[in-house]
Amino acid sequence: MASSPAFRPWPLIGFLVVTFAAAAVGSVATAENVKTWYPGLAKPAWTPPGWLFAPVWSALYVGMAVAAWRVWRRLTGPAAFGVLRLYGTQLVLNALWSVLFFGLRRPDLALVNIGGLWLLLVLALVVFWRVDRIAGLLWAPYVAWVSFATALNAAIWQLNRI
């Protein structure tokens, strides 16, 4: 593990741009069905209000980008590339969840996807924590939220099976 290099903004900006690009993919898949299909689903009483999702996800996206950037900049060679691969894979699964759940209206497939995403996030949490505690702390709310989202996805799927 290399020591922390001097701050240069471009890599961090790159992490933020890629992260919010994945968020945009999810938003495109979500936009229409969150207004039309989703309100008609049976949901558990503990479902958060709709207005909460955008600010929570915005904060999580910033935190996860900063966390991954912090870890990436402390590593070199294959280890740094491994962080990029791990981060990119979880971004793909993150965006794919929205496509499956909202775009295709398949909570069942979304549940399988989010289960894999959750496992990847826990792995990333372990890696990030070992490399940079602040990165681990920044990543932990993402793991917590996806844990909650997994339970919510499972409940919605269960309540709406035909």
pLDDT at 4 over 90: no
Q: How confident is the model over 23-71, as pLDDT tens digits?
A: 999 999 999 999 999 999 999 999 999 999 999 999 999 999 999 999 9
3-state SS string for 11-31: HHHHHHHHHHHHHHHHHHHHC
Residue 104 has pLDDT above 80, yes or no: yes
CB atoms within 10 A of CB 141: 15
Quick: pLDDT tens for 126-154: 999 999 999 999 999 999 999 999 999 99
Q: The tokens 């497939």 sit on which residue?
A: 109
% of residues, the chain, pLDDT over 70: 96
pLDDT of residue 9: 84
User: Of 115, 74, 73, 120, nearest to 97 (Cα)?
Assistant: 115
